[in-house]
Amino acid sequence: MTETDSLRSSDAAEGTGTNAERPPRLRGIPLLGTTLSIARDPFGFLRSARARGDVVAYEAYGTEFALVFEPAAVETVLVSRADEFRKGEFETDFGELIAPDGILFTEGKRWRRQRQLLQSSFTPDRIRSYADAMVDEAAALVDDWDEGETVALRDAMSTYALRVLTRTLFDLPLESDRAAVVTRAADAVNDYASPGRLALGSILPSWFPDRVEREYEAAMADLESLVDDLVAQRRASEAAGDDLLSLLARAEYPDGSRLPPEAVRDQLITFLFAGHETTATSLAFTCWLLAGDSAVRAELDRELEAVCGGREPTVEDLDRLAYTEAVVREALRLYPPATGVYREPKSDVVLSGYRVPAGTTLQLSIYGIQRDGRWWTDPGTFRPERWLADDEGDDGRCRRLESDPDRPEYAYFPFSGGPRHCLGMRFAMTELQLALATIAGRVEFDRVADSLEPSLGVTLDPGPTEVRVRNRREKGGR
């Protein structure tokens, strides 16, 4: 970190500098701002913004944004002064497309009540109880593949993540036609909220016939009626347990009245989206990275053999699967499913030495910060070792996870941070590690194409990510 950077960090932390100047600005064309540059090349846009400084202002889609590339400023916004920020209009407008009453988009007292109600499904004990389903579904996925078969990882992992989610949180198997309703809606929202489509939406008049919008509306209507059916069935069922679907189906306000159907529906749709695409794309990226790196793969195999010795992994193994966790962390660093976190300051604020006016949409750049050479050596290289330290134990070398003390905490925040950090973080990390250990224990992959061309939708989309299955083997039980 340079001296100027550290001066700016302390300014940000103290919130001083009322005379501070405005951040540098990326200029766009009149009326449209930078909308078209983002639509043409979102990653190129991010790079040129980063080159201008730690906080960079721009206008797009009729909204005033500021991209933030400094970990200390991220900590200020998400943690130490979190009360001075809200989710803001850009995020809540997006919420209107999916589930405005869902926990991702609500604020204040309503959000706090929802978080309290829902977190009982994510305690460490509950997550341990989901582990067998995470392993079984991964084993079933691989058992469906033949030696030499070409598999599109993005779709395969999407099926896997949805099965795990509905089996653990909803206590039901979702048959393939119902699962297709969920994935169709997720795809339709991704198309509708992609930078290209948002750009078009800000140019076209509202009466213009729009295929993407029609598809989105039809897909969401189908998803809403599917979720309403699930709730009605669970309410009618004697067998309601303590899973999330049952919890919501019978949830009551303090006066004893039931939550209205829209509130229950929005919550379930939020989980179907937040808990499915994110883990699916991470797994696709992780397996694709592994397929291209024989040294990492060999090290992972060594650890799996030493810890699991040919059987399926269990949740008790996780503490000893340090390399497996490092692989997952590193994939999440290079390809964070959520590339940014959005917040809006309630009043003017100073970040990294710059004054940002109230109402600006702050875009805390997970993708930019996690690939910044100031905090990461060889930032573009897949190197799980960066997360590990070697110990010499009695029985030889042993690896443990270790954070670099010189690296700021918020140089890595794929799950966001502070009071609104991802509620499913522990669920996701457990699922990613167990799925990876199960899949790698049964199969290897060769890449079909050498390069990856991710695109930006609601999440970072890896594209089909095709691999060929190699060295497929049967496994014994746990």
CB of 241 to ligand HEM, least distance (A): 17
Q: Kindly identify the residues of this chain, within the stretch 252-271, that bind ligand HEM according to CB under 6 A.
A: 270-271
Question: Interacting stretch for ligand HEM, rule CB under 6 A, among 123-131, 253-261, 413-421, 445-453?
Answer: 413-421
Q: Which of 189, 423, 439, 440 binds ligand HEM (CB under 6 A)?
A: 423
Binding status of residue 465 toward ligand HEM by CB under 6 A: no
Q: Which amino acid is at 472?
A: R
CB of 117 to ligand HEM, least distance (A): 11
CB of 415 to ligand HEM, least distance (A): 5
Q: Which of 33, 88, 313, 424 binds ligand HEM (CB under 6 A)?
A: 424
Q: Which residue is nearest to ligand HEM (CB)?
A: 424
- SS3 at position 351: strand
CB of 436 to ligand HEM, least distance (A): 12
Tokens of 107: 């604020």
Q: With CB under 6 A, what is the number of residues at the site for ligand HEM?
A: 22
- C-alpha distances (whole Å) from 214 to each of 189, 440, 459 are 11, 41, 21
Binding status of residue 460 toward ligand HEM by CB under 6 A: no
User: What is the distance between the alpha carbons of residues 335 and 277, in angstroms, rounded to a whole number?
Assistant: 13
Nearer to ligand HEM, 272 or 300 (CB): 272
Nearer to ligand HEM, 382 or 427 (CB): 427
Q: Which of 141, 415, 440, 461 binds ligand HEM (CB under 6 A)?
A: 415
DSSP-derived secondary structure for 79-116:
IITGGGEE--HHHHHHHHHH-TTSTTT--HHHHHHHHH
In this structure, the number of other CB atoms found within 10 A of the CB of residue 126 comes to: 18
Q: Which of 341, 351, 435, 437 binds ligand HEM (CB under 6 A)?
A: 341
Cα Rg of the chain (Å, integer): 23
Binding status of residue 73 toward ligand HEM by CB under 6 A: no
Nearer to ligand HEM, 284 or 469 (CB): 284
CB of 246 to ligand HEM, least distance (A): 16
Q: Do 72 and 372 touch, CB atoms closer than 8 A?
A: no
Residue bearing tokens 């509950």: 126
Question: Interacting stretch for ligand HEM, rule CB under 6 A, among 4-12, 137-145, 257-265, 274-282?
Answer: 274-282
What number of H helices and E strands is found in the chain? 18, 14
Give every CB contact of residue 342 below 8 A, 6+ residues apart in sequence.
87, 88, 90, 91, 361, 362, 363, 364
H/E stretch holding 183: helix 176-192
Tokens of 251: 């949830």
Q: Which of 313, 427, 454, 469 binds ligand HEM (CB under 6 A)?
A: 427
Binding status of residue 53 toward ligand HEM by CB under 6 A: no
User: What is the distance between the alpha carbons of residues 240 and 429, in angstroms, rounded to a whole number?
Assistant: 27
Binding status of residue 420 toward ligand HEM by CB under 6 A: yes
Nearer to ligand HEM, 104 or 199 (CB): 104
User: What is the distance between the alpha carbons of residues 424 and 409, in angstroms, rounded to a whole number?
Assistant: 20
Question: Interacting stretch for ligand HEM, rule CB under 6 A, among 38-46, 245-253, 333-341, 372-380?
Answer: 333-341
Binding status of residue 216 toward ligand HEM by CB under 6 A: no
Sign of CA dihedral 455, 461, 464, 468: positive
Binding status of residue 345 toward ligand HEM by CB under 6 A: no
Tokens of 207: 């009466």
Side-chain half-sphere exposure of 65, counting CA atoms within 13 A: 26
Nearer to ligand HEM, 89 or 390 (CB): 89
Q: Which of 131, 186, 351, 422 binds ligand HEM (CB under 6 A)?
A: 422
H/E stretch holding 388: strand 388-393
Question: Interacting stretch for ligand HEM, rule CB under 6 A, among 180-188, 235-243, 336-344, 398-406?
Answer: 336-344
Binding status of residue 414 toward ligand HEM by CB under 6 A: yes
DSSP 258: B
CB of 40 to ligand HEM, least distance (A): 25
Give every CB contact of residue 175 below 8 A, 6+ residues apart in sequence.
none
Query: By CB neighbour count within 10 A (0-12 exposed, 13-18 middle, 19+ buried), where does 433 fall?
Result: buried
User: What is the distance between the alpha carbons of residues 321 and 329, in angstroms, rounded to a whole number?
Assistant: 12
Q: At what angle do helices 153-169 and 261-274 cross, to 10 degrees?
A: 140
Binding status of residue 335 toward ligand HEM by CB under 6 A: no
Tokens of 46: 């991010």
Nearer to ligand HEM, 141 or 199 (CB): 141
CB of 362 to ligand HEM, least distance (A): 11
CA angle centred on 100, ends 94 and 104, rounded to 5° = 80
Nearer to ligand HEM, 288 or 415 (CB): 415
Binding status of residue 337 toward ligand HEM by CB under 6 A: yes
Q: Mark 77-106 with x for binding to ligand HEM (rule: CB under 6 A) and - for no binding.
A: --------------------------xx--
Binding status of residue 324 toward ligand HEM by CB under 6 A: no
Site for ligand HEM, rule CB under 6 A: 103-104, 115, 270-271, 274-275, 278-279, 282, 337-338, 341, 414-416, 420, 422-424, 427-428
